[in-house]
Amino acid sequence: MMRTRTWIATSGGPHLLIADEQLPHWRGIERWRDHNDPADQSDYARACRVTTWLGSLACQQGSAVVLSGDAGDIAWYPNRQGGGFLVQWLGVDDERLIEPALYAPQLRDRLESSSAERLEFETGASGTMWLIDASDQGYDLRNSHQALALLPGSYLAKAASYGSPGLAIVVREICWISPLVNEAALGQER
CA distance 190 to 180: 16
What is the per-residue pLDDT across 27-86, written as a single tens digit (0 to 9) for each?
887 786 776 777 777 899 999 999 999 999 999 888 999 999 888 999 999 998 889 999
pLDDT at 81 (0 to 100): 81
Classify the C-alpha dihedral 61-127-8-90 as positive or negative.
positive
pTM above 0.95, yes or no: no
The domain limits of the chain are 7-176
pLDDT at 1 (0 to 100): 59
What is the per-residue pLDDT across 144-180, written as a single tens digit (0 to 9) for each?
899 999 999 999 999 999 999 999 999 999 999 999 8
Concatenate the DSSP letters of all residues of 35-81 into one string: TTSTT---HHHHHHT--SSSEEEEETTEEEEEE-SS-S-EEEEE-TT
| Three-state secondary-structure class, residue 176 | strand
